[in-house]
Amino acid sequence: MESPTLAGWVGDVAGFTGRQWQREPAVFTPETLASPFGLDELDAAFDGGLLRTPYLEMVRSDKVTVPAGAYTTSRVVNGTTHHGFADRAKVVALLRSGATLLLRCVDQWHRPTGDLVARLSEELGRRVEAFFFVTPAGSQGLAVHRDDADVFVLQAAGRKTWYVHDAPAVADWALGELPDDERSPLRLRSVLEPGSVLYVPRGFAHRAVGAAGLSAHLSLTIRDVSLQDLRTALERQLTEGLDLPARPLGEAAIDDACATLLSHARARLDAIAPEDLRTAARTAQARLPLATPQPDTSRQPDASQQMETFAEAARNWGDGGSGARRAGPVSVSRTWRRLRDAARSAR
């Protein structure tokens, strides 16, 4: 496992891979703060005015559901009412009452977090997602539960006490909150300070309780393959290179398609090793859309066709809008006035 990003958190990646990875929880103290998202970035997201459900949620560990209306507001845009916009005053009030703020898929809307997630996903060959939690002291957002992912917790602010329990005792283990009659032995108890990094192996039960002030952390979930992922990968492997009509017409054509499919699958099956199937499943999973979509190089062969920003478009607009010549601040201003006046005259 070679990962420059991971090395910045755990130091000796080879030692981490041999001792902790998918075996044992551990806490690390990097030299620099690992989380690109903290309370300042949270405020900026609220200030931007576009944060809304389903990207934010308020949760409690006592099985009490917090309705979206309790922490969001509605707005009228172009005469239409839209719901679910984050309301900071309501969120703070709920935090004071013991609820936890959960931001989902931060990598999809916060560029630095998206860059980190894309980098880590490429390095590990697995799908990664980012979630941000803000919890008041003495409270916890989720009860003891198991995740279908390895998790790196990057403590961003405040202090939080983590309890990590044992791995599942059976192979066919269930996700989510532990049943009341399941008692999983405690493997780690640690208070995370800002800058601390906690690793929780996939399936290990865990919970976190705010220890001081407002505690905030970024959770990076690293997904691994499931049985369904392996089945899908096997189907693709068995049918690779097969050219059959999508809708065979008539009994004879259907029988021919069945015979061809079975013959092809038998031949392919003998050539597929377990590690081939595992690699194919992980590759397909890692290629799922990430927070920062990468350019399709098969359709964009040169740098001139890469996606440009609005600022670049404005600088390159020129008289005809083709980007044929670069425009300085004065010509950009003239272009903007011309576009504005044209829009006004079209009303």
Nearest to 66 by CA among 100, 39, 96: 100
SS3 152: strand
Q: Which two tokens stand for residue 106?
A: 């931060």
Name the range with the highest mean pLDDT among 32-36, 46-50, 313-317: 46-50
Strands 100-103 and 176-177 turn out to be unpaired
**H or E segment and range at residue 86:** strand 80-86
State the Cα–Cα distance between residues 222 and 215, nearest whole angstrom.
Answer: 22
Nearest to 125 by CA among 218, 204, 224, 194: 224
pLDDT in tens, 197-225: 999 999 999 999 999 889 999 999 998 87
Q: What is the pLDDT of residue 303?
A: 39
Q: What is the pLDDT of residue 336?
A: 65
**Distance between the two ends of the chain, CA-based, in angstroms?**
60
pLDDT in tens, 102-144: 999 999 999 999 999 999 998 888 899 999 999 999 898 888 8
**Residue 19 carries which side chain, given as an amino acid letter?**
R
pLDDT in tens, 45-76: 999 999 999 999 999 987 788 999 999 999 99
Nearest to 167 by CA among 319, 23, 8: 23
Q: What is the Cα 254 distance to its own chain's centre? A: 42
Please indicate, yes or no, whether the overall pTM of this predicted structure exceeds 0.85. no
State the Cα–Cα distance between residues 71 and 115, nearest whole angstrom.
Answer: 29
| Res. 268 pLDDT band, cuts 50 70 90 | confident
Q: What is the pLDDT of residue 285?
A: 72
Per-residue b/e over 73-108, b at no fewer than 16 CB within 10 Å? Answer: eeeeeeeeeeebbbbeeebeebbeebbbbbbbbbbb
State the Cα–Cα distance between residues 205 and 175, nearest whole angstrom.
Answer: 9
Q: What percent of the chain has pLDDT over 90?
A: 51
CA angle 203, 3, 175 (to 5 degrees): 15
Contact 92, 58 (CB under 8 A): no
Strand partners, 85: 52, 73
Strands 186-192 and 149-165 turn out to be antiparallel
Q: What are phi and psi of 26, to 5 degrees?
A: -160, 155
- Average pLDDT taken over every residue of the chain: 84
